[in-house]
Amino acid sequence: MPVMDTARAIMGGVVEVSLEAAPWLMLGLIAAGLVRALMPTALIARWLGGRGAGPVAVAALVGAPLPLCSCGVLPVAIGLRKGGASKGATSSFLVATPETGLDSIALSYALLGPFFAVVRPIAAIASAILTGLAVSLTDRDGAHADGHDAGPTNCKCEGDGAEPVSSGCCAGAASAEPEPVERAASCCSSSAQTETPPQSPGIARRIADGLAYSFTRLLGDIALWLAVGLLFAGVMRALVEPGALASLSGWWAMLAALVAGVPLYICASASTPIAAGLLATGVAPGVAVVLLLAGPATNIGSLGVIRKEIGDRATAVYVVMVALTALGAGLAVDAIVAAWGIDIAAQVGAGGRHVPRWIAVASALALLLFSLRPLALRLAPGLGATRGPASDDAARAHHE
């Protein structure tokens, strides 16, 4: 194929994939903004306190719809941990939140089909719960010296007439680190209650702020990798014949996807078009599931922060369980597809084809306009984007 014809075919593939994805990504971003605005984060921090399976399950269910990626979830998880969440609940939240979300579920329906739109969040929640329970088993001795696991006690903090402390449940009072979650669940909350609480913004303002976050910070955080994923899907659609990679299945292919996904930073939304490109060429659905689960939940950068918060042993368990649950989900999906005779290739891109063309074009243009400034800041840090676009904002918003 001549070079110009190849370029046209790739461009056409990218455009078609983008038009299929755009309306559903818009819908997902709107839903994510509403969830961010209306979810009571201070109450969630209290729910995640304590030990056992309950807080772990709540953390998975709460984290699944949230609009946070692998990096944006870290300050929120740290805040929950400092607010009293156990290691198991924190780990569950760290797995469920980046592995799925309302934006990635909508995108999954558009690009992967209804089967993946249902299976993906179920697998993510199951992976989060199993990982959280496994981490909890490594922490059966109770609270650590840093006191993260300690619930409300009779300790005294600075300002209560006690001497300043450098460790224990009151150490957070003198910490220089930001605490993105309210400290209502900590043992030092009583001293803060003497101050006049700031007036809570109205629901209209919260919704406006949530939507602004979705279409600026969140979209900016995923835009670059989403563009890479759409390019990959367009190349695969244009240059690889359907079914050409049908031999990529089984254990070895899933292990390859696991090895590729674990160390790399790739968010749930950006991994979706990559999975769509693989599925369109005949790659087994189980391989795509492994990539969709393992990629967002782990990366080299975030593991260092996770290790600091939950310790070496719990981090090792965290990584092993993410890998094992991803492989288990991949094998289960392949078995279900074979038993039920599901035609995955026919579902790829089916959701996007149900949307009128003018809505798809309008959505794509709107997303492109919203993405221009965040992309420019990403590609040119000198313009002011010296920090990850979601990290600091995620902390501030969850402090409300």
d(CA 30, CA 36): 10
- Residue 382, classified by CB atoms within 10 Å of its CB into exposed (0-12), middle (13-18) or buried (19+), is exposed
The candidate with the shortest Cα–Cα distance to 399, out of 198, 160, 250, is 198
Exposure of 370 in the CB half-sphere (CA atoms within 13 A): 23
Predicted pLDDT of residue 24: 82
Query: What residue spans define the domains of the chain?
Result: 11-397
The candidate with the shortest Cα–Cα distance to 326, out of 390, 273, 270, 275, is 275
d(CA 114, CA 365): 25
How large is the angle between the packed helices 3-38 and 203-213, nearest 10 degrees? Answer: 160
pTM: 0.69
d(CA 400, CA 42): 8
Evaluate whether 135 touches 88 at the Cβ level (below 8 Å).
yes
Per-residue pLDDT tens over the stretch 176-215: 333 344 443 343 444 444 455 556 678 888 889 888 888 8
Predicted pLDDT of residue 245: 61
Token pair 């990403």 in the structure block, residue:
378
d(CA 55, CA 133): 10
Residue 249 backbone class (left: φ over 0; alpha: ψ -120 to 50; beta: rest): beta
Predicted pLDDT of residue 328: 95
Predicted pLDDT of residue 251: 81
Predicted pLDDT of residue 98: 86
Q: Which residues of the chain have pLDDT under 50?
A: 141-194, 385-400
Residue 67 phi, psi dihedral angles, 5° rounding: -90, 65
Per-residue pLDDT tens over the stretch 231-283: 887 787 777 766 556 666 778 889 888 888 777 767 777 788 888 888 888 88
Alpha-carbon 110 to chain mean position: 18
d(CA 19, CA 112): 14
Predicted pLDDT of residue 247: 67
The DSSP bridge partners found for residue 85 are 49
Token code pair at residue 389:
């676009």
Predicted pLDDT of residue 286: 93
Write the DSSP string, 122-170. Answer: HHHHHHHHHHHHHHHHTTTT---TT-TT--S-S---TTTTPPP-SSSTT
Predicted pLDDT of residue 140: 59
DSSP class of residue 216 equals I
Burial pattern 177-210, b for ≥16 Cβ within 10 A else e, equals eebbbbbbbbbbeebeeeeeeeeeeeeeebbebb
Predicted pLDDT of residue 45: 67
